Amino acid sequence: MSDRQAIPPPTCPFAVARPALSPLRLAMRRFRRNRLALAGLVILAAVAAASLAGAAWDRIEAAAGRPQPYRTPLPGAHPQSPSLYHPFGTDTLGRDMLARTLVGGGVSLGVGLAAAVISIIIGTFWGVTSGYAGRGFDTVMMRIVDVLYGLPYILLVILLLVLFAEQTTAVRMVVLFMAIGAVSWLTMARVVRGQVLALRESEFVQAARAVGAGPGRIIRREVLPNLAGTILVCATLTVPLAILQESFLSFLGLGVPPPLASWGTLASDAIEALNPVQTYWWLLVFPCTFLGVTLLGLNFVGDGLRDAFDPRAR
Amino acid sequence: MLHYILRRLLYFIPTLIAIYTLAFLLMHAAPGSPFAQEKDLPPEVLAAREAEYHLDQPLWKQYLLYARDLASLRGHTSMRYEDRNVIHDILAPALPVSLALGVLALGLAVVVGTAAGVASAARPRSALDYLAMAGAMIGISQPSFVIASLLMAVFAFSLRWLPVGGWGSPGQMVLPALALGALPAAYIARLVRTGMLEVLSADFIRTARAKGLAEWRVLLDHALPTAWLPVLGYLGPAAAAIFTGSFVVEKIFAIPGVGQHFIDSALHRDHPLILATVLLYAALLVVFNLAVDVGYAWLDPRIRYE
């Protein structure tokens, strides 16, 4: 018995040498071949790492009982142009611009991420419910989105921020994050609903329904995994818009409260210090370069993901 | 088609009611009163002023009273400038300025964006293509206030070609329109380039070339009308971007438009002016979006609104 050879499993005569790849694998492979998108990813990783390093530096200084560099004015005349000790120079109040740019990066990226997360949660829920429930439900939910789409949202955000201007920093930060997130879920809801409408009628969902799967299981096992690409693309393209929104609000004096900074508030402070006689170029150039490079990276990655998940959309 | 337009017009009503209600609630949800800044007001005067702005009434009555004033276009006096009616004296003179700036910026964005997109698609991977797309990248990746300030620094301060600010002469309109149109122009350039590249590989373009048409006619008469359709879809968001951008640009170039009034009214808790400005913006946006959709159906025979 023991010397009997194991019977090889039956092989399909048409089997391909390679196992079939899942759509996600295929998309990732297409993404990896896109040089611009990979460059965007590298840029984003570098900016995120720099911002984290800035936050860590700040924490270390605070824990050691030393003044935090982003909020502490240095002695002497200011602003100073970039030097060995202050590679990005100092601002008009004498604070180190390197520290401020890095801390600002954390805030700007945070605003973008918060907007993406909020839009994923609300937008996906809204879109899936509307698309899957169909009929009257769908009509009502999408009419609400249509009406909200027609609103000049930014007016409400401005109103909200102005009205909460006298609250504490924490409250204002929460209001700012929520407000920017609240404006960004509508597109997600529309895109997701469109996809769900198509998926609902697809053969594999009908098959699942035929073997008795309930709506909850179908949504979790069949619909959501197929939405992942769409959601990812839409969320990635939400982030740069949210970061720009924040900088726009900063210019109106409604961004993150001082002494905290974001790239938007830094750029807006630099514009304020801009005058025909003296150019403090370093105040503008460093935050705007970080902002621009990050937004480009996000756009490259977003476009790359879109091409990877939907090659026909090119 | 007429049926569709009428139905869309019907949707205006819930949209405007929604924004009015949201603005009204936000205004009242905030702690503090509009007259809190004027501390040494005698109580009788304060009561009289509050009565003038319906602040002594219950909330639902205030809501209806202001709605009536706005719906009848009669308006109400501003809280900050008590001798000025928000509709007739404040918004009516500012509206043409903002509209002119918005139309100029949108027109500029469409013309410049389309030209850049066609030029880059005509010779992909040429120096011109890279230049145009690099310009579009800057337009997409910098906030409008940075672009506006840089334009001002270069063309008004350094070169002294154009005035620094104000409104009225054609020269004063160039820089604000450029600053405001930069972001939509960048998006349009990218949309047109992608669309053109796709269309240029279609069979009907090969036919057009095969029958010996001049290249510019192939590009402009045959490819562009099809490639341009996605731009129409983008015009709605573009208008919204121009609206919001106008707050910033009007502030930087000291232009007496509606944007200034909105920020001021919010900062000073000027209830009548807040409501009037919000409704004005909402109405403009909704009307423009309808115009875009109708234009879409008119230009693209594949689209039919039931």
**Are A284 and B248 in contact (CB < 8 Å)?**
no
Q: Please report which helix (H) or strand (E) contains residue B2, including its range.
A: helix B2-29
Q: Compute the average pLDDT of residues A1-11.
A: 56
Domain ranges, residue A203: 33-53+96-308
- Quick check: is A24 in a domain? no
The minimal CB distance from A244 to the residues B143, B198, B274 is found for B143
Considering the domain boundaries, does residue A245 fall inside one? yes
| A187 in any annotated domain | yes
Residue A117 lies in a domain: yes
Residue A84 Cα distances to A47, A81, A89, A280, A287, angstroms:
21, 10, 9, 17, 18
How distant is the alpha carbon of residue B2 from its chain centre?
26
**Residue A76 placed within a domain:** no
**Which residue type is seen at B105?**
A
Nearest chain B residue to A276 by CA distance is B157
pLDDT at res. A46: 94
How many cross-chain Cβ pairs, A to B, lie less than 8 Å apart? 114
* Tally of structural domains, chain A: 1
In this prediction the pTM is: 0.83
A186: Cα separation from own chain's centroid: 15
ipTM above 0.85, yes or no: no
pLDDT greater than 50 at residue A314:
no
pLDDT tens sequence for chain B (306 residues): 788 888 878 878 888 888 888 888 888 877 666 776 666 777 777 787 777 777 778 888 888 888 888 877 777 777 777 778 878 888 888 888 889 999 999 999 999 999 999 999 988 888 888 898 888 888 888 888 888 888 888 888 888 888 877 787 888 888 899 999 998 999 999 889 988 988 888 888 889 889 988 888 888 888 888 888 888 878 877 887 888 788 888 888 888 888 888 888 877 788 888 888 888 888 888 888 888 878 777 777 666 655
Q: Name the DSSP letter for residue B155.
A: I
- One-letter identity of residue B213: L
Q: Please report whether residue A201 resides in a domain.
A: yes
Q: How does A136-145 read in b/e, with b if 16+ C-beta sit within 10 Å?
A: eebeebbebb
Of A204, A188, A176, A30, which Cα lies nearest the Cα of A112?
A176
Nearest to B26 among A152, A160, A276 (CB): A160
A171 in contact with B at a CB cutoff of 8 Å? no
Q: Are B135 and B183 in contact (CB under 8 A)?
A: no
| A159–B26 CB contact, under 8 Å | yes
Task: Please indicate whether, in this complex, the C-beta atoms of A158 and B262 are within 8 angstroms of each other.
Answer: yes
CB nearest to B137's CB, from A147, A160, A296: A296
DSSP state of A313: G
> Is there a domain that residue A181 lies in?
yes
The answer to whether the CB atoms of A156 and B143 lie below 8 A apart is: no
Contacting residues for B123 by C-beta, under 8 A, at least 6 apart: B129
Kindly report whether the peptide bond that precedes residue A79 is cis, defined as omega within 30 degrees of 0.
Answer: yes
What's residue A44's pLDDT? 92
CATH number at residue A166: 1.10.3720.10
Q: How far is B122 from chain A (nearest CA, A)?
A: 17
Residues 235-254 of chain B with CB under 8 A from chain A are 240, 243-245, 247-248, 251-252
Pick left, alpha or beta for residue B125 (phi over 0 → left; psi -120 to 50 → alpha; otherwise beta): left
Nearest to A295 by CA among B137, B61, B254: B137
Alpha-helical (H) ranges within A119-152 are 124-133, 135-149
A288 in a structural domain: yes
Cα distance between residue A233 and residue A301, in whole Å: 9
Specify the pLDDT at position A108: 92
- Reduced to 3 states (helix: H, G, I; strand: E, B; else coil), residue A20 is coil
